[in-house]
């Protein structure tokens, strides 16, 4: 069976080398004619490309040429043609944030891994977090806070000691970043149907920025965060190294460290 694919590659030396190898192994076509898209790069490049081309409604197969490559597949030249015929697909939806800045400008942005609210000045941020009219936390003094999807729960969220979420959990993790008051608040796991509203309680003295993966909006007054289930990302993984397995491995590592 002829594989009709389109390759989108980062410009690094390693990425271009992998792309050169792939061009000799598979049939390349235009983006519109491809049955799926191969992305060669790291996690950051993968996130950037997914956001740019998700409207094409094509499955994406990532090949890691970066550092960790959690969203990517390892590249084995000798196994590639065999593995590419037995791929598993998972479908995920991103977070959507609607920000209102200090000048009341509104902006919509999506985040596949997480959305974080981070202090802009030397002073800690003072924020509130609500689920509609009910407070999740009324007043948090911290370096910020982040909301993570299950797919992103092993990224920045894990680095700030947030929980790892099962890919099928239908949950979101709300995790504080270096909390000062209350120190013992570890965050909260909520349903993926939750509409989260975060408000900066001291806009003038303690400005904050909102970041969706690697896209930043400055001087935020408030932000509404929710899952956008109308947007679907279809990700392809090698049968032996699915995203489910990667998350499970990270969960076991965390449990081992806590013993």
Kindly report, residue by residue over 20-52, the tens digit of the pLDDT: 999 998 889 999 999 999 999 999 999 999 999
- Which residue in 95, 101, 69, 58 sits closest to 222, CA to CA? 101
Task: Examine the pLDDT at 207 and tell me if it is beyond 90.
Answer: yes
Confidence of residue 109 (pLDDT cuts 50, 70, 90): very high
Q: What is the pTM of this model?
A: 0.91
Residue 2 pLDDT class (50, 70, 90 cuts): low
* Band of pLDDT at residue 86, cut at 50, 70 and 90: confident
The CA distance from 197 to 211, in Å, is: 15
Marked catalytic residue, from 10, 43, 101, 213: 43
Instruction: Report the C-alpha gap between 102 and 77 in whole angstroms.
Output: 51
Do residues 159 and 248 both lie within one domain? Answer: no
Residues 86 and 115 in one domain: no
Query: What percent of the chain has pLDDT above 70?
Result: 98
Burial letters 5-19, b for 16+ CB under 10 A, else e: bbbbbbeeebbeebb
Same domain, 66 and 125: no
Mean of pLDDT over the chain: 93
Domain range for 118 is 95-227
What's the burial of 61, exposed, middle or buried (CB within 10 Å: 0-12/13-18/19+)?
buried
The candidate with the shortest Cα–Cα distance to 125, out of 217, 207, 220, 224, is: 207
1 pLDDT more than 50:
no
Instruction: Spell out the alpha helix ranges (H) of the chain.
Output: 13-25, 43-53, 80-83, 156-159, 243-258
Of 192-206, 213-227, 233-247, which gets the smallest average pLDDT? 233-247
Q: Could you tell me the pLDDT band of residue 200, with boundaries at 50, 70 and 90?
A: very high
The alpha carbon of 191 is separated from its chain's Cα centroid by a whole number of angstroms, namely: 17
Number of Cα atoms under 13 Å in the Cβ half of residue 238? 18
pLDDT score recorded for residue 258: 65
Q: Are residues 116 and 166 in the same domain?
A: yes
Average pLDDT value for residue range 3-9: 91
Q: What number is the average pLDDT over the span 140-163?
A: 96
Residue 213 annotated among the catalytic residues of the structure: no
Domain count, the chain: 2
With cut-offs at 50, 70 and 90, classify the pLDDT of residue 157: very high
Strand locations in 44-122, DSSP E?
Answer: 60-64, 88-92, 95-101, 106-111, 114-119
Residue 259 clears pLDDT 70, i.e. is over it: no
pLDDT band at 245 (very low <50, low <70, confident <90, very high): confident
Is 102 found in the same domain as 86? no
And the tokens for 12?
Answer: 């690094």
DSSP state of 54: G
- Location of structure tokens 């909390």: 179
Same structural domain for residues 132 and 74? no
Region 49-76 average pLDDT: 93
Are residues 218 and 254 both part of a single domain?
A: no
Task: Report the pLDDT value the prediction gives residue 256, as an integer from 0 to 100.
Answer: 75
Question: For position 204, which CATH number holds?
Answer: 2.60.200.30
Task: Please determine, for residue 65, whether its predicted confidence score (pLDDT) is greater than 70.
Answer: yes
Looking at the fold, whether 114 and 58 belong to one and the same domain comes out as no
């Amino acid at each position: 069976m002829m594989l009709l694919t389109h390759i989108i590659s980062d410009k690094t030396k390693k990425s271009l080398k992998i792309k050169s190898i792939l061009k000799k192994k598979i049939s390349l076509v235009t983006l519109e004619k491809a049955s799926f898209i191969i992305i060669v790069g790291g996690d950051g490049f993968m996130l950037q490309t997914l956001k740019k081309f998700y409207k094409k409604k094509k499955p994406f197969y990532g090949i890691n040429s970066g550092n960790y490559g959690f969203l990517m597949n390892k590249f084995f030249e000798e196994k590639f043609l065999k593995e590419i015929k037995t791929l598993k697909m998972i479908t995920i939806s991103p977070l959507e944030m609607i920000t209102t800045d200090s000048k009341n400008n509104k902006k919509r942005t999506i985040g596949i891994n997480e959305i974080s609210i981070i202090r802009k000045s030397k002073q800690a941020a003072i924020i509130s977090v609500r689920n509609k009219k009910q407070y999740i936390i009324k007043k948090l003094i911290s370096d910020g806070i982040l909301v993570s999807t299950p797919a992103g729960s092993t990224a920045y969220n894990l680095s700030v000691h947030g929980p790892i979420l099962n890919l099928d959990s239908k949950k979101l993790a709300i995790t504080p970043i270096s909390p000062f008051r209350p120190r013992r608040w570890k965050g909260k796991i909520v349903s993926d149907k939750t509409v989260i509203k975060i408000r900066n309680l001291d806009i003038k003295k303690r400005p904050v920025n909102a970041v969706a993966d690697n896209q930043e909006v400055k001087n935020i007054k408030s932000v509404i965060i929710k899952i956008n289930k109308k947007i679907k990302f279809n990700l392809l993984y090698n049968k032996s190294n699915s995203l489910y397995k990667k998350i499970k491995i990270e969960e076991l590592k965390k449990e081992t460290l806590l013993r």
